[in-house]
Structure 1
Amino acid sequence: MRGKSLLAIGYPSLDYMIKVSDSVTFGQTTLIENDDNQCPNYGGCGVNIAYLVAQFSHKTGVAMRVGNDFQKTGYEKFLKDGQVNLEEVQQIKSVPTSSTRLIMNEAGDHITLFYPGAMESKFHQATSFDHLSEFDYGVVTVCEPQYGQAFVNQCIKEKHPLIFSMKADFTSMPVAYIDQVMQHSELIFMNEVEYSLLNDKLPQPVKAYLNNPITQGIIVTQGGQGSYIYTKQEEIIIPAVKQVAVVDTAGGGDAYIAGFLHGYFSGKDLSVCGEYGSVLSAFIIEKIGCLSNVPTLEQFTERHQKNYN
């Protein structure tokens, strides 16, 4: 392992992709077109980031609650084989792991159905993250609110650096919680829609969080239009990767963060970090499944050089 390390929290998810040709309407039968609709893809925002960063030989771990199917679905083995530390994983034996049904039409539009399972709030118990000190950063993604708050509180109390991945889910992430996390995050990631929403909802404009001594960068992704990196000194524009054969955009944002963090943990300039984020995201969205098209280091390097050198 090399460079910095991270412990990520968030909902785990067994993702089931369901492809349909017609619009889904209540009272009407819609045929499922893909044969693999009952084969799960492993995901969840925190898992996606931790797994992808680990593939670049950085130490990562996940903190989450899983259900009684964690082993039999192959989820546990997948993460272990990917060198993701599982010491902060709690198992609830009475219910399954949280899961997502992604219903996608031919235009690529999604309906997302989420089952919280073991991450439902009723399973929350007093939580101490005993292995937090073994990691350099705590990565905050969308999570059961009490669990997320416990993690953030411990990180702040122990002066443990945070990295924040925004999600426009104001039930799991109330505005006061978002404000607290952003005040204590070294890096903050969001997309352009979330950026606009937060400028309306937060007690101060998003860029104003750069005025605190902790926050070093706010990164706003814009899909095919690239991304912006705002720092205390400058604004960096990162062009998007060219010639991307988009199949499924799910997981693209998490992949951008993972690529960025690979660069950041390796001591790269922020502009290169943004390029790394764009390259890794391009690979992931070219196949169904948030972790189905992970490149080798050679493939990653070649595509980066082709687009940015």
Structure 2
Amino acid sequence: MDKQYDLITSGYVSMDHLIQVSSPISIGYTSLIENQDNTKIYYGGCGLNIAVAVNQLGFKALPVLRVGGDWIDNGFKSFLESRGVPLEGIQVLEQESTSTSYLIQDSKQQHITLYYPGAMDKKYAIPLEDSLFQNSRTAVMTVASKKDNQYFLEQCKKYNLPIVFGMKDDFDAFPVDFLKEILCESQIIFLNEQEKEIIEKFFGCSSLEKLFNIGKVKIIIVTLGEKGSVCYEKTENGIQKYHVGVGKIDRFVDATGAGDAYMAGFLYGYLKTYSTENCLKLGTALSSFVIQEKGCCMKIPSSQELEKKGRKIQ
């Protein structure tokens, strides 16, 4: 049976406000805001960023999330419609506000994040509709409340959906026992270097490759910042390892959403059934586009531009 959605994604949504100050934030002192666009809303959230990018690249990705009654006034609904994002997985809580973040950065690139969970608060979590999962090919799990992701995982297991997992270094969302369960159920896992070390410690192993003997995992990708990324893949000939460098850019503006873009670019290639190495290059390529603009979803190229850039990645 043909599936209506190529991906179904979990994760928080956030109305992001980006605030730049000249001096570090200190209690008792006033910091002047430097950027004129500090009141502009940038729509974000890990699962949403991935869904938006994948939809713009020609596939159907369904985000499962909750919004407040303000989602029309704040432009979020129009934003999703303009990007071709399906709305069937969105629950509207009229009495609440949509989740909001204030991302504060000083001249030393130090960050403070203030977050109001609003409609995404765990107290509003409810079991998810069967039809959403029956009509999906692959599931992507990112940061949400533990309760939300438990409901999401239950449905993935019920309908035998392959799970792609992005941990995002959040141990409130993924306490140890739950994290171990997700890792064992996931077929593709995305980590950074710090998360890699933590997971190796959890499982008492010196190498991520031992995870291939524990659960369903087939591919593990570790992003290395300026050093690119490395991938371990389970094949008939044993564990294969690939390394891909970074993409050239004209300018660097904002790294927010770079990891989500990497996942989205990889998944675009995965859905196209490209080789794992080419998927890595597409992830790197999409990330290099996104970091050249403010906002997580503001510079998504066409699929042709993405593939052209991907071919240049070494």
Q: Structure 2: any 5+ residue segments left out of the alignment?
A: none
Q: Is the 8 A contact 2:5 2:62 kept in 1?
A: no
Counterpart residue number, 2:20: 19
SS in 2 for 1:96: coil
Contact preservation (8 Å) 2:6, 2:137: yes
Tell me by how many angstroms 1:263 deviates: 0.6
1:207 to 206, 209, 216: 209
SS of equivalent residue, structure 2 residue 313: helix
CA contact (8 A) 2:5 2:61 kept: no
Counterpart position of 1:188:
189
Structure 1: state its 5+ residue gaps.
Answer: none
Q: Hey, what does 2:282 align to over in structure 1?
A: 276
Residues 27-52 of structure 1, C-alpha deviations (whole Å, 9 max, x = no match): 11000111111111011000000110
Once the two structures are TM-superposed, the CA of residue 133 in structure 1 deviates from its matched residue by 1.3
Q: How big is the shift at 1:304?
A: 2.4
For the 8 Å contact 1:96–1:117, the answer to whether it is kept is: yes
Aligned match of 2:82: 81
1:1-309 matches, cutoff 5 A? 5-202=6-203, 206-212=208-214, 214-232=216-234, 233-243=239-249, 245-308=251-314
What SS does structure 1 have at the residue aligned with 2:114?
A: strand
With the length of structure 1 as denominator, give the TM-score of the two structures.
0.94
**1:108 to partner: Cα distance:** 2.6
**Matched residues, number:** 308
Matched-pair contact (CA < 8 Å) for 1:3–1:265: no
Cα offset for 1:126? 3.6
**Contact 2:24/2:107 (8 A) holds in 1:** no
What's the Cα RMSD here? 2.0
TM-aligned CA distance change 1:195 to 1:252, over 3 Å: same
The AA in structure 2 aligned to 1:68 is: G
Other structure's SS at 2:36 match:
coil
- SS class of match (1:272): helix
How many angstroms apart in 2 are the aligned matches of 1:130 and 1:4? Answer: 11
SS of the aligned residue for 1:84 comes to coil
Identity of matched residues, %: 35
Aligned to 1:242, what secondary structure does the other structure show? coil
- Relative to structure 1, is the Cα distance of residues 298 and 3 closer, same or farther in structure 2, using a 3 angstrom cutoff? farther
User: Which stretch shifts more, 265-274 or 105-114?
Assistant: 105-114
How far is 1:4 from its partner? 7.6
CA distance in structure 2 between the aligned counterparts of 1:98 and 1:133, rounded to whole angstroms: 28
TM-score, normalised to structure 2, is 0.93
